[in-house]
A and B are shown apart, each in its own frame.
Chain A
């Protein structure tokens, strides 16, 4: 088992390295750090620009291959992902913003998954009854609302609510207030900032899990082993919980594991609406500011998340599926 996972891990590592280097060359095709200095007042001479960019490995006067090697060897030997055109360290930016995004994305993913599974089980055991119909109708609508519309709609509602009660209950921008001190005030402040973007992400995200869980459970509810369990005296709820749910959780776990990278990157829209300085915001800034090293770091980050998702999916199958464990 460990050997199998190790081999998968090595395969993914190779893919990540190749994909990241490919992105490096692609980024040079589309972004030009020199543009940042064009139109500056007072205007910078060509030589001055080169002098600013050359020590940062961002000057196109150096052959592309040399620039690449200087960047790549920096990562291999010093784990240094380079600097932006203005000299900010990419390592520092990613290290800080990663946690800002994680705060938002992890919570939302957990809530959306639990809600999706719970609703899936609830509606599947009441197939074609009123509760199932209502659940299905709501999910198909929420799943297909654009995240931008959902987030902005929530902003409008929250502003309305704040005006109604006359004080700021929900913050619509930022991830924290700058002047809050103390343990409990910090937590409350963080929650006030978290709640709206989390709701936006959950509304969009739960329905996929709901549909998948529902249809898988329906396939299993009528399976022979569940009927056998009921014949032996278990109630329907017990039979579902102990036997049907376990097998139907495997594909759900796989799907959830694979959505981790997409949610992380999908937070681009949520973060830019709610003004969070996470990876999504960073993504927009690096492209706007011709920050090649930053862009490539984000690409590598996304690739690593995809690999983690895939490996988690493999592990989930091993944990949940007895057939895999026995063999």
Chain B
């Protein structure tokens, strides 16, 4: 049985994780397909239906300005997913390379990197994030970039502690004595050995990025009109929560399904990839 068969068998045994994966796949599908199905796009205003509850014409109802909530939720979900995945890929790659390199090269490089990380932990990052993104004019690409720049250092510290024990392993020593260049040892020999940690970091990073992005957009610092994200939709829904609660329900449901399903997947991956885990029986 190959490694991957083993992982997938262990993952499939964790039923909540499988459910999470299915929900996540359905959400991605919804974000991709729904804009094609919708009769209105998310910017178009329907002046004959203002603030309508869900009905046959507008499946998720309309806002008081006449936006179709179905189209808005689909686009908002798409936007939140794009931001979350790109931020998580970015922070995982940077933190993995920096953290492992700091552990391998040790000495001065390690000390400077750790000092920088500790210093950045004191600087209030949420404040920086709010100031930067307030300046960005609500472009989601700039917001993602800022979130990557500010988000890499905490995971880098975790990865550094993991990589510390790796640098003392025989195969790393062997590679060094054979004259393999340092950066190549980091990328080819050390990184693959913390691969499982990186996969889990990535899924948890998606959850964290969704949370931060929705928080920012809710407060009005993130994605701005005419662009929408789940956070900005919930933010505008919050103002009419008693008079038009459907404007809150649908984006809130999409957001909760997204974060919870991803967390379940992360949990299942942890069980499947951890060689010492006894959860889910033996294989």
Q: Which residues of A contact B231 (CB under 8 A)?
A: 148
Interface residue tally for chain A (C-beta within 8 Å): 41
Shortest Cβ distance from A167 into chain B, in angstroms? Answer: 17
A143 interface residue (CB < 8 Å to B): yes
| CB-based contact A287/B130 at 8 Å | yes
A252 interface residue (CB < 8 Å to B): no
Interface of chain B, main secondary structure? helix
Query: Assuming the A-B contacts A19-B119, A153-B252, are A144 and B219 also in contact, with contact meaning beta carbons closer than 8 angstroms in the complex?
Result: no
- Return the CB mask of B120-162 against A: 1 if under 8 Å, else 0: 0111101110111011000000000000000000000000000
Q: Which residues of A contact B219 (CB under 8 A)?
A: 268-269, 272, 284
Q: Which residues of B contact A84 (CB under 8 A)?
A: none
A113 interface residue (CB < 8 Å to B): no
- Return the CB mask of B227-256 against A: 1 if under 8 Å, else 0: 000010011011001100100100010011
Shortest Cβ distance from A16 into chain B, in angstroms? Answer: 6
Bound-complex Cα distance A94 to B135 (A): 25
Q: Which residues of A contact B16 (CB under 8 A)?
A: 137, 140
| CB-based contact B130/A152 at 8 Å | no
| CB-based contact B256/A307 at 8 Å | no
| CB-based contact A19/B123 at 8 Å | yes
Bound-complex Cα distance A284 to B131 (A): 10
| CB-based contact A26/B131 at 8 Å | yes
| CB-based contact B135/A30 at 8 Å | yes
A316 interface residue (CB < 8 Å to B): no
Residue in contact with A15 in the complex, picked from B119, B127, B132, B215, CB distance below 8 Å:
B119
Shortest Cβ distance from A244 into chain B, in angstroms? Answer: 18
Q: Which residues of B contact A306 (CB under 8 A)?
A: 121-122
| CB-based contact B241/A140 at 8 Å | no
Q: Which residues of A contact B263 (CB under 8 A)?
A: 140, 143-144
Considering only CB atoms, which chain A residue lies closest to B218 in the complex?
Answer: A148
Q: Which residues of B contact A159 (CB under 8 A)?
A: 242
B88 interface residue (CB < 8 Å to A): no
Shortest Cβ distance from A31 into chain B, in angstroms? Answer: 7
B81 interface residue (CB < 8 Å to A): no
Query: Assuming the A-B contacts A146-B214, A153-B252, A269-B219, are A15 and B259 also in contact, with contact meaning beta carbons closer than 8 angstroms in the complex?
Result: no
| CB-based contact B264/A140 at 8 Å | yes
| CB-based contact A152/B131 at 8 Å | no
A253 interface residue (CB < 8 Å to B): no
Residue in contact with A269 in the complex, picked from B119, B135, B215, B245, CB distance below 8 Å:
B215
Residue in contact with B215 in the complex, picked from A137, A145, A148, CB distance below 8 Å:
A148
Query: Assuming the A-B contacts A140-B267, A146-B215, A268-B219, are A299 and B123 also in contact, with contact meaning beta carbons closer than 8 angstroms in the complex?
Result: yes
Q: Which residues of B contact A31 (CB under 8 A)?
A: 131
Bound-complex Cα distance A269 to B217 (A): 11
Shortest Cβ distance from B255 into chain A, in angstroms? Answer: 6
Q: Which B residues are closer than 8 A to A by beta carbons?
A: 16, 118-119, 121-124, 126-128, 130-132, 134-135, 207, 210-211, 214-215, 218-219, 221, 231, 234-235, 237-238, 241-242, 245, 248, 252, 255-256, 259-260, 262-264, 267
